[in-house]
Amino acid sequence: MTDLIERPVSTSDGDNVDHGTETSHHHDHHGPTGIMKWLTSTDHKVIGLSYTVTSLIMMIIGGAFAEIIRAQLVSPTSNLVSFSQYNELFTMHGSVMIYLFVGPFAFAGLANYLIPIQIGAPDMAFPRLNAFSYWLYLTGSITMLSGFLVGGGAANFGWVGYAPLSSAANSPGTGADLWICALLLTGFSAIFSGVNLVATIFYLRAPGMTLFRMPIFTWNMLVTGILILLAFPVLTAGLIMLYCDRHFGTHIYTVQGGGVPLLWQHIFWFWGHPEVYILALPFFGIVTEIFPVFSKKPVFGYRGMVFATLTIAALSLGVWAHHMFTTGAVLLPFFSIMSLLIAVPTGIKMFNWIGTMWGGKVHYSTAMLMSMGFLFTFLIGGITGIFLASPPLDFFTHDTYYVVAHFHSVVMALVMGALAGIYFWAPKMTGHMMHEGIGKIQFWFLFIGTQLFTFPLYLVGLHGMPRRMANYPINPSWQTLNEWGSVGAILIGISMVLFLVNVIYSWKKPVVAGDNPWDGHTLEWFTTSPPPSHNFLSLPPIHSERPTWDYNHPDHLAIEHNHKKQAKKSAKASAASDAS
């Protein structure tokens, strides 16, 4: 072992640890700076940051819509916004959050920045395609939001755009067309990102970085990339057919011309359910990077974790119709068992995260608190999701606030994962620490706000309140529960303001982070903060999924799983004789 450390794989003749100054020189002499650098760059780090910042702006816009929705629902007869404005608001809230924030933040923002560094590559496989992908995404985002500026307002048929409500007859107006075009643009952007992720991970890994030495975040992004390639083209095709129905006289989704409205739901959810995991897997990856670092242990059950990710991805392609149980037109038992089975690999992940902390030295950094918040919130969201996999239970909760609460538990867990990732990697990306104190206050607002927001919504849903209602029957218990939900939403809003405060504070009063502020495990912590152009001047030897840790702590390598096999066997034998 020590022998290898003395002769690291090196891409330069220089010192393999202290190489920061040399790099930045190298970088400054080449290429444009400032706005021109941002506009013309094909560097994965610049594009990754552009994605991250743009998607966070989208989160704030989508969050503002949510606050208006919650304000409207404080009173059963509120007329803060009109019915049609309300329909636009929840449609755009869902669309902005799903299409423009959660996905792009993870599989294009963080992944773009981190994947090449985690596998020891100089850039993504197709840097120009990568840049094109970002510009498509930005154009698509602007296209979608511009719906508010046209006559008739933005799209108002829900983020799922069910046919035939989304037809030209039922939803005339340019807003709907802009929505379709925006999804086509961001859809292609996602497909190109997927191509790039898969190609990069398969072809640009550093010597020694075998598949089973990749960090879990990279593994999850590989699987996400494959899922994107399987799912997004289906949505894109479906949208083109919808556009043809609206403008070119086809009747693919209309009964009048012999079409089948239900087809849209099949196409949409065939994309939509893998999409749920396209959204979730990157955030599973984020927290799987954070738990080990702040427990000072390797991730528990690394191979099981990879197996679980692959299983989730495989199953996710066969569960789309659990969104359609109440159509009366799908095979209930098949989609029920497939959906229930996803609980198994998801449970494995849950226990592996707990197992990673178990017996470790747990440090309560902001990133770790956010990850713990993720763990709890995702447990709630995951368990309530199992109920929805059972058709009889889905029948009476479908399209009620129970479902809304379920997926908000899940996505709020993802938001905590996103913030965990930001607090964890911001020092690497900017070279400066985020303020931990403000971060912890933000965490508590976010965590308490999330539970206060979702728990009443579960109950009001079980009391029979459907989703997507601008007003609701005058019923004291419904109103009280909605008021609590809105209080939760306000706390979440405050936490986001605190986040912006933290960003500005950390920017104005920079604290230099250094290369490896958290005693990180993976390759990104081996290079400078921020990394130089093309990321590395030298690499450590790669013998496990945490080369930087192995390099820094050669006496604390991960313990192999069969080192005590013999001892286990005898213990088992004695236990068996005891019981019988």
Partner 1 sequence: MEETLSQLESAQESVADRSPRTKKRALALAIAAPLLLGGCELPSFGAFHGVTKTANSTFKLWQGFNVTAIVVGGITLLAMIWAIFAYRAKDKTSIPKQTQYHIPLELTYTIIPIFIVIGLFAATVVVENQVVDEPAPNATINVTAFQWGWKFTYPGHKAVVVGQTTQSPIMVMPENKNVLINLRSTDVIHGFYVPEFNFSRYAQPGLLNTFTFNANKTGMFDAQCTQLCGLYHTLMYFRVNVVSQAKFDAWLRAKDASTTQQEVIDANSAIALENNAGVAVNPTKSNGDGAN
Give residues with Cβ within 8 angstroms of 353, minimum separation 6.
Answer: 287, 288, 291, 300, 375
Burial class (CB in 10 A: 0-12, 13-18, 19+), 248: exposed
Q: Is 398 in the site for partner 1 (CB under 8 A)?
A: yes
Tokens of 412: 């709020």
When the beta carbons of 244 and 343 are compared against partner 1, the nearer one is 343
Using CB under 8 A, pick the residue from 165, 204, 263, 438 that binds partner 1. Answer: 165
Q: Alpha-carbon distance 96 to 142, whole Å? A: 11
When the beta carbons of 60 and 332 are compared against partner 1, the nearer one is 332
Q: Is 393 in the site for partner 1 (CB under 8 A)?
A: yes
Enumerate residues 335-374 that contact partner 1 by CB under 8 A: 336-337, 340-341, 343-344, 347-348, 350-352, 354-355, 357-364, 372
* String marking each residue 87-106 x if it binds partner 1 according to CB under 8 A: x-------------------
Using CB under 8 A, pick the residue from 202, 203, 212, 387 that binds partner 1. Answer: 387
Q: Is 477 in the site for partner 1 (CB under 8 A)?
A: no
Q: Alpha-carbon distance 192 to 393, whole Å? A: 39
Give residues with Cβ within 8 angstroms of 519, minimum separation 6.
Answer: 293, 296, 525, 549, 552
DSSP state, 277?
Answer: H
Compute how many other C-beta atoms are within 10 angstroms of the C-beta atom of residue 162. 14
Q: Is 326 in the site for partner 1 (CB under 8 A)?
A: yes
Using CB under 8 A, pick the residue from 37, 57, 399, 504 that binds partner 1. Answer: 399
Q: How far is the CB of 424 from partner 1 (least distance, A)?
A: 17
When the beta carbons of 504 and 575 are compared against partner 1, the nearer one is 575
Burial 540-563 (b: 16+ CB within 10 A, else e): bbbbbbbbbbbbbeeeeebeeeee
Q: Is 260 in the site for partner 1 (CB under 8 A)?
A: yes
Q: How far is the CB of 526 from partner 1 (least distance, A)?
A: 19
CA angle, residues 228, 128, 277, in degrees to nearest 5: 15
Using CB under 8 A, pick the residue from 181, 279, 299, 319 that binds partner 1. Answer: 299
Q: How far is the CB of 117 from partner 1 (least distance, A)?
A: 23
Given a contact cutoff of 8 angstroms between Cβ atoms, the answer to whether 452 and 493 are in contact is: no
**Of 140, 131, 139, 144, nearest to 50 (Cα)?**
131
The alpha carbons of the chain give a radius of gyration, in whole angstroms, of 25
Using CB under 8 A, pick the residue from 68, 332, 501, 511 that binds partner 1. Answer: 332
Residue 538 φ then ψ, to 5°: -155, 160
When the beta carbons of 113 and 353 are compared against partner 1, the nearer one is 353
Q: Is 517 in the site for partner 1 (CB under 8 A)?
A: no
Q: How far is the CB of 382 from partner 1 (least distance, A)?
A: 9
Enumerate residues 227-246 that contact partner 1 by CB under 8 A: none
Give residues with Cβ within 8 angstroms of 342, minimum separation 6.
Answer: 312, 315, 316, 319, 389
**Strand (E) or helix (H) holding 545:** none
Q: Is 542 in the site for partner 1 (CB under 8 A)?
A: no
Enumerate residues 261-290 that contact partner 1 by CB under 8 A: 261-262
Q: Alpha-carbon distance 309 to 343, whole Å? A: 12
**Residue 157 Cα to chain centre, angstroms:** 24
Using CB under 8 A, pick the residue from 127, 208, 304, 517 that binds partner 1. Answer: 304
Q: Is 507 in the site for partner 1 (CB under 8 A)?
A: no
* String marking each residue 400-419 x if it binds partner 1 according to CB under 8 A: x-------------------
Q: Is 1 in the site for partner 1 (CB under 8 A)?
A: no
Using CB under 8 A, pick the residue from 92, 110, 375, 513 that binds partner 1. Answer: 375
CA atoms lying within 13 Å on the CB side of residue 175: 27
Q: Is 14 in the site for partner 1 (CB under 8 A)?
A: no
When the beta carbons of 19 and 398 are compared against partner 1, the nearer one is 398
Q: Which residue is associated with the tokens 């936490």?
A: 495
Q: Alpha-carbon distance 302 to 560, whole Å? A: 11
Compute how many other C-beta atoms are within 10 angstroms of the C-beta atom of residue 43. 24
Q: Is 5 in the site for partner 1 (CB under 8 A)?
A: no
Transcribe 369-430 into DSSP letters.
HHHHHHHHHHHHHHHHHHHHTSHHHHHHHTTBHHHHHHHHHHHHHHHHHHHHHHHHHHHHHH
Q: Is 301 in the site for partner 1 (CB under 8 A)?
A: yes
Using CB under 8 A, pick the residue from 132, 135, 243, 376 that binds partner 1. Answer: 376
When the beta carbons of 197 and 308 are compared against partner 1, the nearer one is 308
Name the 3-class secondary structure at 512. Answer: strand
**Bond prior to 530 in cis (omega within 30° of 0):** yes
Using CB under 8 A, pick the residue from 38, 395, 477, 514 that binds partner 1. Answer: 395
Q: Is 310 in the site for partner 1 (CB under 8 A)?
A: no
User: By CB under 8 A, how many residues form the interface with partner 1?
Assistant: 102
Enumerate residues 51-90 that contact partner 1 by CB under 8 A: 76-77, 79, 83-84, 86-87
Q: Kindly tell me the sign of the dihedral angle through the C-alpha atoms of 47, 176, 149, 59.
A: negative
Q: How far is the CB of 366 from partner 1 (least distance, A)?
A: 15
Name the 3-class secondary structure at 71. Answer: helix
Tokens of 141: 């985002």
Stretch that binds partner 1, among 143-151, 193-201, 231-239, 380-388 (CB under 8 A): 380-388
Enumerate residues 144-163 that contact partner 1 by CB under 8 A: 157-158, 162
Q: Is 334 in the site for partner 1 (CB under 8 A)?
A: no
Stretch that binds partner 1, among 387-395, 405-413, 438-446, 498-506 (CB under 8 A): 387-395
Q: Is 295 in the site for partner 1 (CB under 8 A)?
A: yes
When the beta carbons of 51 and 294 are compared against partner 1, the nearer one is 294
Enumerate residues 434-473 that contact partner 1 by CB under 8 A: 458-459, 462-464, 466-473
DSSP state, 160?
Answer: T
Tokens of 436: 């931990």
